[in-house]
């Protein structure tokens, strides 16, 4: 039985974030392989944190800049260590390399954080996106260094996998495209979905701590929904999500059909009652959990090129990809009123879920990659000289910074 250690940025929250869903999928995949799984994080639990022990996962509260982790991971001797986000790899990667050097080190990106942050800055400053400008940012350099130091990087978006290999120069052998792993949508399941006539209203949903989501809601309130209401005066938009900031909650206005409802326990139930999902994303990265959830519940989505990036391979999109506000508004009104077009979009979503996100196929891809690397880890690492060089440098720099902070804490 293999020992898997996952070091998380937070405790997983599947009911509030796509990242939480993704982590739960990884945990289940390793569990189905009869692995012994440990999950550690420096974060405190929240009301939305899932109980991992109920899944057979051993939980551990770990300390940052503390040698107790060195002793613990050295005794644990994991076969695989997964760092959830590059910031976690920066904090603990050198400690794992020093105390469990034979462990396969995997970076789970969720999305490329530096890409998302750069795109946000570009939108706010009305600049065109340029790969060279993105890679010139300090955050990108940190994240790419983390990618190179890792034995394998999991990327949910094929577009981002191509960025890493073709534009950054990460060895192909060290990158794995692994989107969300989902069970297939069966005919029995989809036959029980509410019909076009049984659904009503627009919906928008997403975690309020995620800047692209907040920006989308602002766009809907200020630019899009007022014009939709001119054509569909009885239609409402319901906004769902945990951690919605105060200024978003203040958008609630029943007379205008703009309903801010916050977190909901049964999101699937809500989505099955809505007719159209609106996601006017202007920036972001990775693949969008809100669009996957919509397709899983037979809900067409009106979104943007950023929204669908890396989402649907070469298959037709489950709704409409709008290039500007007018296009978005017109598509929202059209799909809301046209049952034939709506039904076709729903079927496209079923095709995407079953062909792009199949659990068994992707689980096989993950374990084939891990088994192939662990069969000869030293040779695999030798193919990544830049990674070895960065590992050497970071071990020197980050290690002694961490030691200095640890000693400072002891004196206070």
Q: What is the pLDDT of residues 96-146, one digit of tens each?
A: 999 999 999 999 998 999 999 999 999 999 999 999 999 999 999 999 999
**Average pLDDT, whole number, for the chain?**
93
> Of 404, 401, 395, which is closest to residue 99 (Cα–Cα)?
395
What are the DSSP calls for 84-135, one per residue? ESHHHHHHHHHHHHHH-TTSEEEEE-SS-HHHHHHHHHHHHTT----HHHHH
Query: Residue 141's domain spans which residues?
Result: 3-181+359-411
101 neighbors 26 (Cβ within 8 angstroms): no
Is the pLDDT reported for residue 409 higher than 90?
Answer: no
Same domain as 229, residue 364: no
Same domain as 272, residue 234: yes
160 neighbors 115 (Cβ within 8 angstroms): yes
Same domain as 139, residue 28: yes
- 18 — pLDDT class (breaks 50, 70, 90): confident
Same domain as 275, residue 252: yes
In terms of DSSP bridges, do strands 258-262 and 301-303 run parallel, antiparallel, or are they unpaired? unpaired
Same domain as 282, residue 141: no
Same domain as 370, residue 316: no
Question: Which residues on adjacent β-strands are paired with residue 147?
Answer: none
For the chain, the domain total comes to 2
Average pLDDT estimate for 272-279: 98
| CA–CA separation, 349 and 297 (whole Å) | 9
Q: What integer pLDDT is reported at residue 70 of this predicted model?
A: 94
Q: What integer pLDDT is reported at residue 110 of this predicted model?
A: 86
Same domain as 318, residue 366: no
Q: What integer pLDDT is reported at residue 396 of this predicted model?
A: 64
Structure pTM? 0.92
Q: What integer pLDDT is reported at residue 357 of this predicted model?
A: 96
- 211 — pLDDT class (breaks 50, 70, 90): very high
Same domain as 165, residue 194: no
In terms of DSSP bridges, do strands 276-278 and 202-205 run parallel, antiparallel, or are they unpaired? parallel
> Of 110, 150, 117, 137, which is closest to residue 9 (Cα–Cα)?
110
Same domain as 292, residue 264: yes
> What separation in angstroms does the CA of 130 have from each of 63, 121, 225, 228?
38, 12, 31, 33
Same domain as 137, residue 46: yes
Same domain as 143, residue 106: yes
Same domain as 332, residue 218: yes
What is the largest distance, in Å, between two alpha-carbon atoms of the chain?
70
CATH of the domain at 229: 3.40.50.2000
Q: Residues of 221-231 as b/e, b for ≥16 C-beta within 10 angstroms?
A: beebbebbbee
Q: What integer pLDDT is reported at residue 54 of this predicted model?
A: 87
The last residue of a domain, from among 312, 329, 356: 356
> Of 362, 360, 21, which is closest to residue 179 (Cα–Cα)?
362
The last residue of a domain, from among 312, 327, 356: 356
H-helix or E-strand spanning residue 374: helix 359-374
CB atoms within 10 A of CB 146: 24
Is the pLDDT reported for residue 60 higher than 80?
Answer: yes
251 neighbors 258 (Cβ within 8 angstroms): yes
């Amino acid at each position: 039985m293999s020992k898997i250690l996952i070091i998380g940025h937070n405790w997983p929250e599947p009911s509030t974030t796509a990242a939480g869903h993704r982590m739960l999928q990884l945990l289940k995949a390793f569990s189905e392989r009869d692995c012994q799984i440990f999950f550690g994080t420096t974060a405190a639990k929240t009301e939305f944190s899932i109980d991992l022990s109920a899944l057979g996962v051993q939980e551990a509260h770990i300390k940052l800049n503390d040698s107790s982790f060195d002793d613990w991971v050295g005794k644990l001797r994991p076969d695989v260590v997964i760092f959830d986000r590059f910031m976690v790899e920066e904090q603990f990667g050198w400690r794992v390399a020093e105390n469990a050097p034979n462990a396969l080190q995997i970076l789970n990106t969720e999305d490329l954080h530096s890409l998302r942050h750069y795109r946000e800055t570009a939108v706010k400053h009305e600049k065109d996106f340029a790969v060279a400008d993105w890679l010139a940012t300090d955050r990108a350099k940190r994240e790419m260094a983390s990618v190179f130091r890792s034995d394998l990087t999991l990327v949910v978006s094929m577009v981002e996998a191509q960025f890493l290999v073709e534009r950054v120069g990460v060895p192909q052998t060290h990158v794995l495209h692994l989107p969300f792993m989902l069970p297939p949508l069966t005919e029995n399941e989809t036959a029980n979905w509410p019909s076009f006539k049984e659904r009503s209203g627009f919906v928008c949903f997403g975690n309020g701590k995620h800047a692209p989501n907040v920006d989308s809601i602002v766009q809907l309130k200020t630019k899009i929904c007022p014009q939709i209401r001119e054509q569909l005066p009885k239609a409402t938009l319901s906004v769902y999500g945990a951690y919605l900031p105060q200024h978003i909650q203040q958008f609630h206005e029943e007379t205008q059909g703009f309903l801010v409802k916050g977190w909901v326990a049964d999101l699937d139930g809500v989505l099955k009652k809505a007719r159209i999902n609106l996601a006017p994303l202007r920036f972001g990265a990775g693949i969008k959990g809100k669009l996957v959830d919509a397709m899983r519940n037979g809900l067409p989505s009106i979104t943007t090129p950023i929204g669908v990036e890396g989402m649907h391979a070469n298959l037709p999109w489950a709704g409409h990809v709008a290039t500007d506000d007018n296009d978005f508004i017109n598509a929202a009104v059209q799909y809301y009123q046209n049952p034939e077009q709506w039904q076709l979009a729903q079927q496209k979503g079923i095709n995407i879920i079953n062909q792009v996100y199949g659990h068994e196929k992707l689980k096989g891809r993950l374990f084939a990659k891990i088994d192939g690397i662990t069969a000869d880890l030293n040779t695999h690492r030798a193919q990544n000289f830049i990674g070895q060089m960065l590992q050497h440098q970071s071990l020197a720099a980050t290690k002694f910074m961490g030691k200095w902070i640890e000693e400072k804490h002891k004196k206070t």
